[in-house]
Structure 1
Amino acid sequence: MLTIHLPTLINTNDHVRIQASFETEAGSQELWFSVPNTYSAYLLENRGDAFLVGLLLLAMKNGWDIKINCPISERLYYTLTNYLIKALHLAMPHLKEINLFPKELDSSQVEQAKGVGTGFSGGVDSFFTIYEHLHSTCPESFRLTHFVYHNVGSHGDFGGDATRALFRKRLELVKPFAEEIQLPLIEIDSNISEILQMDYVPTHTIRNAAAILVLQGLFRYYYYSSGRQFKDFELSPTIGASYDILSLNMLSTESLDFFSAGSAFSRFEKTEAITHYEPTYRHLNVCTSDAANCSVCPKCLRTQLTLETTGKLESYREVFDLQKYKNARSSYLAEVLATMHQDDYAAEIIKEMRLRGIEIPTAAYFRAPLLRSMHSLKQSGRKMLKKKNMRKEGS
């Protein structure tokens, strides 16, 4: 059994921390989320929604039922017990189905400021969400009012000092855009990564939703920028984004609705769309290798190749080192050709390059078969290792 207690607020200099102690057979710990003091009035001390969601994966990993010694959303209880827990078990069979035992179910709507938020990282998906929801055709009550920047795993799966330092470094990179368009940026720090000790990619949707649920007093709507399309829906054991359209609805409450923003569009379509949004020329940041764009990692190269295909690459010389890209272009194109039958992103880029008459170097075509063979060998090795591990687990 995992037991969650009523949250409390603790002021720490210019930030306020909302935390809840929880107990398991391993002892007592605390899960916390921290926001700037100016948002303390929007934190819910009398609801356990954020902590139930934040600890759900830990409980399922260990097969612990959850007892919640404080009120939780009635809708959230219903959707978790009837849908999401079962879906997570299907997606990741090592997560056990568990039961929830809340002290009280609350179906009332939280008094709130009717805010509309989205996470802002500076990447393609987040900029597309912003472009859609600051556009003149967006209904007024759905227009963005706030940006949020989290430390819940994207800067390091398992947390720690190095992860928090990278979070702070990257936070400084996203602030100028928020200041430029005059929307507040809320930083949310947490120890959820240290608590869960799980890979981030399969679990990111739930981690980020937990961070937003602490601010139900502020947000009515929250857009979670999706990295996958509707057509890619799958209960995947490795890619949590592949079923965002299910999990985000199941993580909503009577007061806060989550939306999987951008799910109707491909990555290429989103990249092309944001080229019409001039602030991206100065603020686009897609790199996962460093705080700023390194220009040569796979994600930087993919984005630059897409921008070149749209005819807009030169507009982004302020955020990418275009000479580094040109030096790596042929080798990267060989990689794209080698993986285009397994990677939707690669296939779409090659398709668009051919449709738009953009030349692919002969050297890339010559090198692609060797890379394809190398990828096949690696995949075979991974499959053999997986089978070996499964046999060990079954013995």
Structure 2
Amino acid sequence: MLIIHKPEVLTDKDMGIIRALLEIGDKKDFVWFSVPKQYKDYLTYERGDAFLVGLLLLAMKQGHDIKLHFPISERLYYTLTNYLIKALTIAMPQLTQISIIHNGLESAPIKTIGAVGTGFSAGVDSFCTAYEHLMDECPESLKLTHFTFHNAGSNGDFGGEDARTLFQERLKLVTPFCNEKEMDMIPIDSNISEVLNMDYVPSHTIRNAACILALQKLFRYYYYSSGRQFQHFELSPTIGASYDILTLNMLSTESLTFFSTGSSYSRVEKTKIVANYEPTYRYLNVCTNGDAANCSTCEKCLRTMLTFDVMGKLQLYEKVFDFKKYQDRKTGYIAQVLATLKSEQYSREIHQEMKRYNYKIPAASVMLTPYYLFKFSVKKVLTKLRIIG
């Protein structure tokens, strides 16, 4: 049995903290979320939705039913027990279907100030969401009022001090855009990564939703920037984004509605949108290489720069990318794109843009393609052998 005790709100220096005691057998630990002190009053201790959602995957991984010493939102209980738990066991067969033993269901909405938020990392997905929900065309009640930035796994799957340090460094990079728009940025720290001890990519939607559920007295709507299109929906064991349109609906409550935004666009289409948004020329940050700023050498940096290059927009991003590093790797990366046309959706999208813009593919890239085809084939075989072994 996994037991979660009633949440409590504390103040520690300039931070407001909501925490709950977790018991698994003879082990006890606190799970917590923290926000700047000015947001302390919005931490939702009256219902433990954030802790139920945040610890759901841990219980399913270890095969424990969850016993709650607090009430939860009725809608959330219904959707978890009837839909999401079953869907998660299809996506990740290693998980176990569990029961939730609650201490009361609340159907009345929590009083909220009606804020509208989104997570902002300054990447292509989050900039696309910000652009669409700051424009005049967006209905007034659905326009963004707040940005959030989470330490829930994106800075390091398993948390720890290195992840927390990177979280603070990246926060400094995303804050200037928020200041420019005169909108609050809410950093949300948590030890959920240390407690879960799980890979981030399959679990990121649930982790980040838990952070926002802790602030239900603040948010009425929350936009979660999707990394996948509608037509690529799949209950994938490795990519949580492939079904977050389902997950987010199942994690909404009577008070808070989650939306999966950007799901109607391909990666290239999103890149085109942000390429016409001037602040991205100064603030775009797409890197996944463990650094705060763009490294200009990782897969995401190279993919983004090549897409801009094909569209004739790369020169606009001299403040955020190192063009020399890109030029040194461009030939090889294009060869990788050509070698993965059958296996990678992103590669097919970029190749289609190359044809659309009559982009001249270097002869050296064509000549290198067989090498990468062989390299990726060997890697795929070794991966299968490792799984079987």
**1: distance between equivalents of 2:380 and 2:26?**
38
Residues 1:47 and 2:47 aligned together: yes
Residue 372 of structure 1 corresponds to which residue in structure 2? 373
Deviant stretches of 4+, over 4 Å: none
The range that moved more, 48-57 or 327-336, is: 327-336
1:90 equivalent to 2:104? Answer no
Rounded to whole Å, the distance in 2 between the matches of 1:344 and 1:26 is: 47
Which residue is 2:177 aligned to?
177
* Number of the residue aligned with 1:78: 78
Which residue of the partner structure matches residue 6 of structure 2?
6
| C-alpha separation in 1, matches of 2:33 and 2:26 | 22
How big is the shift at 1:77?
Answer: 0.1
Inter-partner Cα distance in structure 2 for 1:241 and 1:22: 28
1:113-163 C-alpha deviation (Å, 9 max, x unpaired): 100000000100000000110111110011000000000000000011111
**Distance across 2 between alignment mates of 1:385 and 1:91:** 21
Matched, 1:285 2:291: no
- Give the TM-score of the pair, scaled to structure 1: 0.97
CA distance in 2: counterparts of 1:352 and 1:30, whole angstroms: 50
Q: Distance in 1 between matches of 2:279 and 2:26?
A: 49
CA-based RMSD: 0.7
Structure 1 residue aligned with 2:352: 351
Deviations 1:62-94 (A, max 9, x none): 100001111100000000000000000010011
Q: Hey, what does 2:275 align to over in structure 1? A: 275
Residue 26 (structure 1) shift: 4.1
Q: Shift of residue 323 of structure 1?
A: 2.0
Matched AA of 1:140: E
* C-alpha separation in 1, matches of 2:2 and 2:298: 41
What secondary structure sits across from 1:185 in the alignment? strand
- Identify the residue that residue 321 of structure 2 maps to in structure 1: 320
Secondary structure at the aligned position of 2:351 is classed as helix
Cα offset for 1:329?
A: 0.9
Does residue 1:25 correspond to 2:34, yes or no? Answer: no
Q: Which runs of 5+ in 1 are unaligned?
A: 389-395
Distance 2:111 2:97 in 1: 33
- The one-letter code matched in structure 2 to 1:123 is G
Cα distance in 1 for partners of 2:40, 2:141 equals 23
Q: How many residues align?
A: 388
Q: Which amino acid aligns with 2:205?
A: T
Question: For residue 315 of structure 1, what is the amino acid of its counterpart?
Answer: L
- Give the Å deviation of 1:205: 0.3
Unaligned runs of 5+ in 2: none
* Identity across the alignment (%): 59
1:118-267 alignment, distance < 5 Å: 118-267=118-267
Q: Alignment partner of 1:76: what SS? A: helix
What is the CA deviation profile of residues 150-187 of structure 1, one whole-angstrom value per residue up to 9, with x for unaligned ones? 00000000011111001011111111110011110000
TM-score by length of 2: 0.99
